[in-house]
Amino acid sequence: MTIFIMINNFFRTIAYSQDERVIKNFCIIGSIILASALALLSVSRIIYPFDLGSYEAPIWEPALLSIRGYNPYSYALESPYIVAPYGYFYYFIIGLGLEIFDMQFWFGRTITVLAAIVCVICVGKIVMLMVDRKLLYCTPLRQND
């Protein structure tokens, strides 16, 4: 219990600090730690040799159909009964990876991680355009008395 009290006091000190450098450095260090953890998690998911069951299982069949020129969405009510919740371009890219590199998981996982990075960059650019740069550093930590 003592460790939680120490962490709580540390965050309160940062939150009530009037020094902009302390807040900015705290946020930069926190962002680096978070980005490192997410990068390590992404790399571990890319090189994981087994499928993730219901997350990856429904992707290969629509991908193989789309790379062969068939519409994966037309098989929802007839055999082979395929569910295709993602966009056609995603299935086409995954199917391209399956044709080039044979049956594997790393290509699709890499594409997914790259797409997530692009999304984070886009959201970051939108936030930069909408928010004043002085308010950008850990705004939720700041409390006005």
Model pLDDT for residues 33-56, shown as the tens digit of each residue: 878 888 888 888 888 877 777 777
Residue 88 has pLDDT above 50, yes or no: yes
Q: Where are the domains of the chain?
A: 2-141
* Residue 134: band (very low, low, confident or very high) from pLDDT cuts 50, 70, 90: low
pTM score: 0.63
* Residue 6: band (very low, low, confident or very high) from pLDDT cuts 50, 70, 90: low
Please name which of 26, 41, 24, 99 lies closest in space to residue 68, comparing C-alpha atoms.
99
CB 15 within 8 A of CB 142: yes
**Long-range CB contacts for residues 60-65, cutoff 8 Å, separation at least 24:** 60/94, 60/98, 60/103, 62/86, 62/91, 63/91, 63/92, 63/94, 63/95, 63/98, 63/108, 64/95, 64/98, 65/91, 65/95
**Mean of per-residue pLDDT scores for the chain:** 77
Q: Which single residue is written with the structure tokens 């450095």? A: 25
* Residue 67: band (very low, low, confident or very high) from pLDDT cuts 50, 70, 90: very high
